[in-house]
């Protein structure tokens, strides 16, 4: 969940300039952020030749100064890593993004604090400092979980622009929103005692997909076979991660050597159980999850209008 640019006018201007510049079998996927273990399956597919087996040349790109949703919507990249929230927001603004796979089956994020802060429920958020990462729906979610616990969000001091958990928790903020598979596992390794409250345990509607793999309506319509081949390789990459988390960690570190090896290995051990979790197969998306979170966003006026949810996601490129 990151800041989302409003780029509808850019979409119209750039789409026409983005076509016909690459060979059909040369594709790209743009990450949502710097490389991390959410992306390991992509690097595995590249390293182990799964893309080659499908006759594809795939570039794994970072968004740079752009927003991945914008990059994909304008055809600058065929695929991208985004979030269910972003897809819903984009479609409500007339930007035809589509989620084609859930990278992780359940929401693995939640609120974390040092054990000494004594925060064990949203009621305890009152009188505390919250380190915000400035997501568009962040405060609405925080208000929801607090009101469900008879707590008053006006009693929380919001500290904006907090991104690095370990340098800020207990100093600039008392509690923050983290992804357990990245920061949580490292805290455990360092012997830092945390109180961690999973978001999905506070309200079932917040067990949404984060992250997802996206493309655009137009690309999927015009390139169904290439999309099928791409996703076959990606799926195989994540299935390898599930079976061989430590070997997958080594592959990610080979491609992104600046990452902390201990953090990557711990994260992969955790995510190996989370990528597919209880789903029938990796990447599967549930209409119940999509309807639930989209309706909540609409009810909270977080999107300008309701969307056709069945057009926002598809499982057709993942069928076993």
Give the residue numbers spanning the domain of 185.
109-206
In this predicted structure, what is the pLDDT of residue 7? 41
In this predicted structure, what is the pLDDT of residue 296? 97
| Residue 267 and residue 126 share a domain | no
In this predicted structure, what is the pLDDT of residue 22? 59
> For the chain, first and last CA: distance in Å?
29
Mean pLDDT by 10 residues, the chain (320 residues): 40 41 84 96 98 98 88 96 97 97 98 97 98 91 97 97 93 97 94 97 97 98 97 98 98 97 97 98 98 97 95 93
**Cβ(71)–Cβ(57) below 8 Å:** no
| Residue 263 and residue 180 share a domain | no
| Residue 130 and residue 187 share a domain | yes
Is 33 a member of any domain?
yes
In this predicted structure, what is the pLDDT of residue 30? 98
Supply the DSSP string of 84-110, one letter for each residue: HHHHHHHHHTT--EEEEEESSSS--EE
| Residue 222 and residue 85 share a domain | yes
Sign of CA dihedral 237, 36, 165, 1: negative
| Residue 73 and residue 214 share a domain | yes
In this predicted structure, what is the pLDDT of residue 255? 98
Q: Could you tell me where the DSSP H helices lie in the chain?
A: 8-14, 40-47, 50-53, 68-73, 84-92, 138-147, 165-168, 185-190, 199-202, 217-222, 224-243, 245-255, 261-271, 287-299
Residue ending a domain, among 188, 206, 224, is: 206
Angle made by CA atoms 43, 44, 45, in degrees to the nearest 5: 90
- For residue 254, give both structure tokens: 């080979």
| Residue 236 and residue 200 share a domain | no
In this predicted structure, what is the pLDDT of residue 4? 40
| Residue 65 and residue 117 share a domain | no
**Global pTM value:** 0.91
In this predicted structure, what is the pLDDT of residue 11? 42
State how far the Cα of 37 lies from the Cα of 254, in Å rounded to an integer: 13
Output the domain CATH number for residue 137.
3.40.190.10
């Amino acid at each position: 969940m990151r800041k989302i640019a409003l780029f509808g006018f850019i979409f119209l201007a750039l789409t026409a300039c983005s076509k016909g510049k690459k060979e059909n079998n040369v594709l790209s996927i743009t990450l949502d952020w710097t490389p991390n273990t959410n992306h390991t399956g992509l690097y595995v597919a590249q390293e182990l030749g799964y893309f080659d087996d499908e006759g594809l040349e795939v570039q794994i790109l970072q968004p740079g100064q752009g927003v991945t949703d914008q990059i994909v919507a304008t055809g600058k990249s065929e695929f991208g890593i985004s979030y269910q929230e972003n897809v819903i927001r984009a479609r409500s603004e007339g930007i035809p993004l589509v989620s084609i796979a859930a990278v992780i089956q359940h929401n693995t994020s939640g609120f974390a604090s040092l054990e000494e802060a004594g925060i064990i429920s949203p009621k305890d958020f009152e009188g505390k400092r919250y380190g915000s990462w400035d997501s568009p729906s962040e405060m609405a979610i925080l208000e929801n979980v607090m009101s469900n616990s008879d707590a008053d969000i006006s009693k929380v001091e919001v500290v904006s622009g907090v991104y690095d958990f370990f340098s800020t928790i207990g100093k600039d903020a008392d509690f923050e929103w983290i992804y357990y598979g990245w920061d949580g596992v490292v805290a455990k390794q360092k012997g830092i005692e945390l109180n961690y409250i999973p978001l999905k345990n506070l309200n079932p509607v917040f067990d949404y997909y984060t992250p997802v793999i996206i493309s655009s309506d137009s690309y999927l319509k015009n390139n169904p076979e290439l999309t099928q081949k791409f996703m076959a390789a990606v799926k195989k990459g994540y299935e390898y991660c599930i079976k061989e988390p430590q070997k997958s960690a080594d592959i990610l570190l080979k491609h992104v050597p600046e990452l902390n090896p201990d953090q990557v290995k711990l994260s992969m051990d955790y995510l190996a159980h989370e990528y597919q979790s209880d789903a029938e197969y990796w990447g599967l998306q549930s209409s119940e999850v999509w309807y639930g979170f989209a309706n909540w966003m609409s009810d909270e006026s977080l999107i300008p209008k309701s969307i056709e949810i069945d057009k926002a996601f598809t499982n057709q490129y993942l069928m076993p």
